[in-house]
Amino acid sequence: MKLLMEALMKYIFGLISVMVLLFIALLFMPMIFFGSYLYLKEPELLKKRLKSQEKEAKQRLVMDISGSVL
């Protein structure tokens, strides 16, 4: 019984690890793609986005929250 529980725990841990890696890949792939696109095609827009000096209050709030989380 102990061996079965250990095997199930390792299986579940492995499954969760794979899911986390897929999530990270799916999260960063579009970021890399669009960052590269902006770098090559629209460098001024990329500079503007990286400065993150938003004019609207709601956008500033979102940037502040996301900056504090990261």
Of the candidates 45, 52, 49, the one whose C-alpha atom is nearest the C-alpha of residue 67 is 52
At residue 35, the 3 state secondary structure works out as helix
Residue 46: Cβ within 10 Å count: 17
Q: Which amino acid is located at 3 in the chain?
A: L
What is the model's pTM?
0.50
Find out whether 26 and 32 touch, Cβ atoms under 8 Å. no
Q: Which amino acid is located at 34 in the chain?
A: F
User: In the numeric block, which tokens belong to residue 52?
Assistant: 């993150």
Per-residue pLDDT of the chain (70 residues; tens, 9 = 90+): 999 999 999 999 999 999 999 999 998 999 899 999 999 999 998 888 787 666 777 777 777 777 665 5
Query: How much is the pLDDT for 60?
Result: 74
* 54 vs 52: CA distance, rounded Å: 6
Q: Where are the domains of the chain?
A: 2-69
